[in-house]
C-alpha cells in the first residue's frame, strides 16, 4: 500500500529497515567515518541539495540492494553517479 504523503510503498521501507537491522547484527557500523576512496580525493566539501522522494528511494535501493559492499556510503554512490553522468555528457558534446 502506498503512503498518501510520499507515494512510497511501505513494503520497500520495511525491507530496507530489515536489511539495515541484519547489517547491524553482522557488525556493520552505522555512520562510519571511514573514507574508503584511498585512491581518490578526500571528501572535504559539504553541500546540501533538495531531492525528490523518488530519487531518495532509488538511492536507498542502490545502497541496500544493488551495491555488493554493505559499507558503501551515500557520498560514494552520489559521487560515482555524478562522475559517470559528467563523462557521459562530456562525451556526447
Q: Per the domain annotation, does 73 fall within a domain?
A: yes
- Tell me the pLDDT of the chain averaged across its residues: 77
- The confidence score (pLDDT) of residue 42 equals 81
- pLDDT above 70: residue 8: no
- Are 78 and 59 in contact by the 8 Å Cβ rule? The answer is yes
Distances (CA, A) of 22 to 16, 27, 43, 70: 10, 9, 28, 11
Q: Per the domain annotation, does 50 fall within a domain?
A: yes
Q: Per the domain annotation, does 61 fall within a domain?
A: yes
Q: Indicate the angle between helix axes 53-61 and 74-92, nearest 10 degrees.
A: 110
Residue 80 CA from chain centroid, whole number? 11
Least confident of 3-12, 46-55, 61-70: 3-12
* pLDDT tens readout for residues 39-60: 567 878 888 999 999 999 999 9
* pLDDT tens readout for residues 66-87: 999 989 999 999 999 999 999 9
Q: Per the domain annotation, does 12 fall within a domain?
A: no
Q: Per the domain annotation, does 13 fall within a domain?
A: no
Number of domains in the chain: 1
Q: Per the domain annotation, does 3 fall within a domain?
A: no
Amino acid at each position: 500500500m502506498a503512503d498518501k504523503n510520499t507515494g512510497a510503498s511501505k513494503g520497500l521501507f520495511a525491507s530496507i529497515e530489515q536489511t539495515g537491522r541484519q547489517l547491524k547484527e553482522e557488525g556493520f557500523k552505522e555512520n562510519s567515518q571511514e573514507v574508503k576512496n584511498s585512491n581518490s580525493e578526500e571528501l572535504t566539501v559539504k553541500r546540501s541539495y533538495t531531492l525528490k522522494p523518488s530519487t531518495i528511494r532509488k538511492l536507498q535501493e542502490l545502497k541496500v540492494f544493488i551495491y555488493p559492499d554493505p559499507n558503501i556510503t551515500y557520498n560514494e554512490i552520489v559521487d560515482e553517479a555524478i562522475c559517470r553522468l559528467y563523462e557521459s555528457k562530456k562525451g556526447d558534446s
